[in-house]
């Protein structure tokens, strides 16, 4: 029998946190049918042994061959999940498993597809963690239009069909709400508890800022232009080509009137803009061809049907009413 909930936990050198985390999960989900999938992302300490020594039949350990990073590890766990609902959770005890029932209840009864955690009272260093995160969250909201207050919180609850179709790779785990929204999922967030790290060291620092910014550009493109890339490259191409052509015509007129144009910076600008315009348009057409291959080769559709509602026959309803009235 398949469990109701699958909890995916990615861990890397978290040996001291394993046993207390397992105890907290068992306490929080005593009334639920669940499985827990620990994904060991190439730990070099006793994380693997501590997992194997403290788990029962509800737990699985997925051991990766080396350290691939949080996103691929999370994808590996989600791929193996069997539950109707998927929960992602950090392995450092900063997320609280006691929040899972509340989040699951919100998802079920308010008909959401993804409920993300919002660490309102975040227990992290202000300079290294909280301040960069606040800036990143603001930029992500403004560029993508997905208004989640805390993109960095790993604690999330999904419907299984949403989790299985996220397309996680690279370091896109920070942008899961955007990936879900691109696929038509209904996304919201809710305040959750957050605890200070007791054991081990954080795997994050200021060095991730540039990675987040790079991924943010990708997500902004995905959100608006993934299914119609020509709408991004086309206007840029036409604008660049038009401006470059105007400059070239202007210089041509000067040349006809006997002026000297060779060596002028504006000549180089005009030629560059014309060439750039041609390249942008070419990129757009190639991207459209790639998208066509993407959808047709895998028999994908550029839409997702949430539900089909079937009407009730008026004749059948009339007959039922008549029968009831006779009785």
Sign of CA dihedral 268, 274, 278, 283: positive
pLDDT of residue 327: 46
Burial annotation 176-201 (CB, 10 A radius, 16+ → b, else e): bbbbbbbeebbbbbbebbbeeeeebe
- pTM tops 0.85: no
The pLDDT score that the predictor gives to residue 286 is 92
CB 22 within 8 A of CB 55: yes
Mark out the alpha helices in 257-302 (DSSP H runs): 265-297
Q: How far is CA 38 from CA 31, 60, 62, 78, 91, in A?
A: 21, 6, 6, 11, 9
Q: Which two tokens stand for residue 208?
A: 């991730």
pLDDT for the residue 106? 96
For residue 25, the model assigns a pLDDT of 96
For the chain, list residues with pLDDT below 70.
Answer: 123-137, 142-144, 200-213, 215-216, 223, 295, 298-309, 311-327
- With beta carbons less than 8 A apart as the criterion, state whether 32 and 112 touch: no
Question: Do 37 and 77 form a contact (C-beta atoms < 8 A)?
Answer: yes
Which residue in the block uniquely carries the two structure tokens 């946190």?
17
**Cα dihedral 158→161→163→165 (10° resolution):** -150
Choose among 87, 110, 100, 99: nearest CA to 160: 87
Strand order in the sheet with 114-118: 59-63, 34-40, 5-11, 85-90, 156-159, 114-118, 187-191
Residues in CB range of 212: below 8 A, 6 or more apart: 136, 174
Give helix 209-225 / helix 230-256 axis angle, nearest 10°.
90
CATH superfamily, domain 5-225, is: Spore Coat Polysaccharide Biosynthesis Protein SpsA; Chain A (3.90.550.10)
State the pLDDT at residue 152. 80
Q: Residue 149's pLDDT is what?
A: 83
């Amino acid at each position: 029998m398949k469990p109701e909930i699958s909890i995916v936990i990615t861990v890397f050198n978290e040996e001291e946190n394993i046993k207390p985390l397992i105890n907290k999960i068992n306490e929080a989900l005593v009334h639920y049918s669940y499985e827990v999938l620990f994904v060991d992302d190439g730990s070099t300490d006793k994380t693997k042994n501590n997992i194997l020594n403290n788990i029962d039949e509800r737990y699985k350990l997925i051991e990766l061959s080396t350290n691939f990073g949080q996103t691929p590890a999370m994808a590996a766990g989600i791929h193996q999940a069997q539950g109707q609902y998927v929960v992602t959770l950090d392995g450092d005890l900063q997320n609280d498993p006691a929040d899972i029932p509340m989040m699951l209840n919100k998802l079920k009864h308010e008909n959401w597809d993804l409920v993300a955690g919002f660490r309102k009272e975040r227990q992290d260093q202000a300079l290294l963690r909280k301040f960069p995160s606040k800036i990143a969250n603001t930029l992500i909201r403004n560029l993508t239009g997905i208004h989640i207050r805390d993109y960095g919180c790993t604690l999330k609850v999904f419907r299984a069909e949403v989790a299985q179709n996220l397309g996680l790779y690279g370091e896109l785990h920070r942008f899961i709400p955007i990936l879900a929204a691109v696929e038509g999922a209904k996304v919201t967030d809710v305040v959750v508890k957050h605890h200070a790290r007791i054991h081990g060291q954080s795997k994050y620092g200021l060095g991730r800022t540039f990675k987040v910014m790079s991924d943010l550009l990708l997500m902004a493109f995905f959100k608006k232009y993934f299914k119609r890339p020509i709408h991004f490259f086309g206007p840029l191409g036409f604008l660049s080509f038009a401006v470059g052509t105007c400059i070239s015509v202007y210089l041509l007129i000067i040349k006809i009137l006997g002026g000297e144009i060779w060596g002028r910076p504006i000549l180089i600008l005009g030629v560059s803009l014309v060439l750039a315009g041609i390249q942008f348009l070419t990129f757009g057409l190639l991207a459209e061809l790639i998208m066509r291959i993407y959808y047709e080769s895998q028999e994908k559709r550029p839409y997702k049907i949430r539900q089909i509602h079937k009407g009730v026959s008026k004749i059948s309803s009339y007959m039922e009413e008549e029968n009831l009235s006779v009785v």
